[in-house]
């Protein structure tokens, strides 16, 4: 099992996304459980924790600081700006002065003097990406962050930001169910020496056995409103894709979730998936996926079976799709 590179650092191939300990897929978990989960991840050998200002309106960052602050040298820490909050309301602000203020607030919540990787969480259409990337470059020069990153942006913005300052990582949704990075950013990242940090690599619970059940989603679960593929018009069609995944998982002697992660890792040495979970059992399962080696035939069969056009429904609702600049396939819609 080889570690994977972000900038001049290396991390375990499977990181931990820290969004859903505080929100997204229902109510936050008990905070003592969240701290125990974070500590368990570190004890397992997970050394890449990925959070954001907006997660739980700062609470995800605070929990990481509370749980892991005393072991800060043992892990690589990532957070995000631009998409944030003010007076309890969600905001989007990519101005350089806003980015620098957000970084100072994150450093305080995270109980650290440096963030290893700091991403622009979303493009701000009012601010050229060069200006926002310049602010991150200033933070690198000031010693407050080590590397700069982008999230939910396409290859053009990646190249423009990289011309201002080397971009160490681009975060994008990438899984068997969402193949959009293969349009352009996967290749651009490889060319520029940029890591592709794959969020939702288990398809927000779809690529599991049993898969997520929309009938059991909490009323606050984002999958009820933002992701049409979980809706009644599309989800039954998507479930038909899973039989082949189960068959290949049996061959590989792993779970479907581990298969999804192993496939993502097999798509490039510069890819680092960051599944999120609130379960210590799933945490261990995800972490162990780094040791699963799929054959070239298995990868090719999964590629073909989960061809992008076979996913039923758009990735996002129209409003959410309009907030990102990730490339779309010609056949995709946002209806």
Please tell me the distance from the alpha carbon of residue 16 to that of residue 46, in angstroms, as a whole number. 7
Six-digit token pair at 328? 């779309």
55 is catalytic: yes
Please tell me the distance from the alpha carbon of residue 101 to that of residue 78, in angstroms, as a whole number. 17
Q: 115 and 78 in contact (C-beta within 8 Å)? A: yes
Burial label for 58, CB within 10 Å (0-12, 13-18, 19+), is buried
Six-digit token pair at 223? 């999958």
Helical ranges in 45-154 per DSSP H: 59-68, 96-110, 129-141
Burial label for 88, CB within 10 Å (0-12, 13-18, 19+), is exposed
| CA distances in angstroms from 294 to 44, 164, 253, 264, 323, listed in the order given | 23, 38, 10, 10, 35
The dihedral sign for the CA sequence 240, 243, 244, 245: positive
Six-digit token pair at 72? 């800060």
Q: 47 and 11 in contact (C-beta within 8 Å)? A: yes
Which residues lie below 8 Å from residue 259, measured CB to CB, with a gap of 6+? Answer: 207, 245, 248, 249, 252, 292, 294, 302
Q: 81 and 103 in contact (C-beta within 8 Å)? A: yes
Please tell me the distance from the alpha carbon of residue 115 to that of residue 214, in angstroms, as a whole number. 36
Catalytic residue among 25, 55, 118, 174: 55
Checking DSSP bridges between strand 48-50 and strand 83-86, what pairing results, if any? unpaired
Please tell me the distance from the alpha carbon of residue 175 to that of residue 145, in angstroms, as a whole number. 29
What residues act catalytically? 55
């Amino acid at each position: 099992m080889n570690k994977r590179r972000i900038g001049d650092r290396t991390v375990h191939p499977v990181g931990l996304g820290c969004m859903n300990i505080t929100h997204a897929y229902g109510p936050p978990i008990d905070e003592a459980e969240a701290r125990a989960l974070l500590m368990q991840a570190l004890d397992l050998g997970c050394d890449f924790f990925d959070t954001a200002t907006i997660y739980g309106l700062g609470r995800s960052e605070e929990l990481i600081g509370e749980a892991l602050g005393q072991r800060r040298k043992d892990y690589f820490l990532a957070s995000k700006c631009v998409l944030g909050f003010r007076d309890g309301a969600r905001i989007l602000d990519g101005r350089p002065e806003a980015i620098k203020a957000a970084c100072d607030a994150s450093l305080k919540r995270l109980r650290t003097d440096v963030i290893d990787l700091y991403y622009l969480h979303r493009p701000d259409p009012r601010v050229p990406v060069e200006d926002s990337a310049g602010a991150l470059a200033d933070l690198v020069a000031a010693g407050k962050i080590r590397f700069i990153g982008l999230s939910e942006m396409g290859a053009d913005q990646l190249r423009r930001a990289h011309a201002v300052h080397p971009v160490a990582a681009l975060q994008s949704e990438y899984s068997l169910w969402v193949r959009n990075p293969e349009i352009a950013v996967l290749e651009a990242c490889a060319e520029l020496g940029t890591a592709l940090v794959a969020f939702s690599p288990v398809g927000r619970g779809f690529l599991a056995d049993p898969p997520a059940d929309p009938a059991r989603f909490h009323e606050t679960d984002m999958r009820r409103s933002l992701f049409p593929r979980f809706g009644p018009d599309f989800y039954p069609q998507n479930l038909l894709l899973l039989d082949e995944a189960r068959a290949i998982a049996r061959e590989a002697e792993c779970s479907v979730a581990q298969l999804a992660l192993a496939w993502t890792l097999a798509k490039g040495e510069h890819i680092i998936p960051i599944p999120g979970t609130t379960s210590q059992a799933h945490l261990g399962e995800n972490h162990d996926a780094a040791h699963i080696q799929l054959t070239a035939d298995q990868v090719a069969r999964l590629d073909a079976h989960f061809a992008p056009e076979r996913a039923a429904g758009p990735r996002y609702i129209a409003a959410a799709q309009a907030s990102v600049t990730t490339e779309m396939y010609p056949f995709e819609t946002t209806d």
